[in-house]
Amino acid sequence: MDHADHVRLLRDGVTRGGTWADLGAGTGAFTLALAELVGPGGDVIAGDRDRGALRELERALRPNTAVVRTLGADFTKPINLHSLDGVVMANSLKFVTPLQARAALLA
């Protein structure tokens, strides 16, 4: 899959100008798609426990997209993300039990 595929997968569910989180962001394939879709007026929080992957994501950020903040965190533990318009957890839920995922999102 390439960037256009990631954008297509998310397009119908993402609104411009919102605040989104990509948990388990890795090197940011879906983070970059979210940033494009949310646009310059929005925010994206990219969370992953692999800080090296987050540094790689930071180097790949593109101009004229949402503000992207990286967060070194393990989403199986509570994370204070405040109010969000949506969450993407592509390819990451296989690493946690449903109870862990629910607890992290409700914290």
Domain ranges of the chain: 3-106
Q: pLDDT value at position 105?
A: 63
DSSP 10-35: HHTT--TT-EEEEET-TT-HHHHHHH
CATH of domain 3-106: 3.40.50.150
Q: pLDDT value at position 78?
A: 81
Distance in angstroms (rounded) separating the CA atoms of residues 76 and 98: 10
Q: pLDDT value at position 26?
A: 93
Distance in angstroms (rounded) separating the CA atoms of residues 42 and 82: 15
CA 62 to chain centre: 15
Cβ neighbour number for residue 87 with a 10 Å cutoff: 16
Q: pLDDT value at position 88?
A: 92
Digits of tens for pLDDT over the chain (107 positions)?
899 999 999 999 999 999 999 999 999 999 999 999 999 999 999 999 999 999 999 999 989 999 999 999 887 778 888 889 999 988 776 666 666 666 666 65
Backbone angles phi, psi at 63, to 5 degrees: -70, 165
